[in-house]
Amino acid sequence: MTISAFDLFKIGIGPSSSHTVGPMRAAGMFAGSLAA
């Protein structure tokens, strides 16, 4: 499972979306891998 820079800096919610979407996606993927 690889994450590119484009995935980390994808447009998202809020004014500082580039700072929040990457960590949010990474945390979601990590949590998903724990649940699997």
The pLDDT mean for the chain works out to 69
At a CB cut-off of 8 Å and minimum separation 6, what does 9 contact?
18, 21, 22
- How deeply is 31 buried, as exposed, middle or buried, from its count of CB atoms within 10 A (0-12, 13-18, 19+)? exposed
Domain boundaries, the chain: 5-35
What is the token pair recorded at 25? 């996606």
**What residue type is assigned to position 5 of the chain?**
A
Q: What is the mean pLDDT of residues 1-28?
A: 65
Q: What is the mean pLDDT of residues 11-35?
A: 71
* Residue 30 phi, psi (nearest 5): -65, -45
Q: What is the mean pLDDT of residues 14-36?
A: 72
d(CA 26, CA 35): 14
Would you say residue 14 has pLDDT above 70? no
pTM of the predicted protein model: 0.40
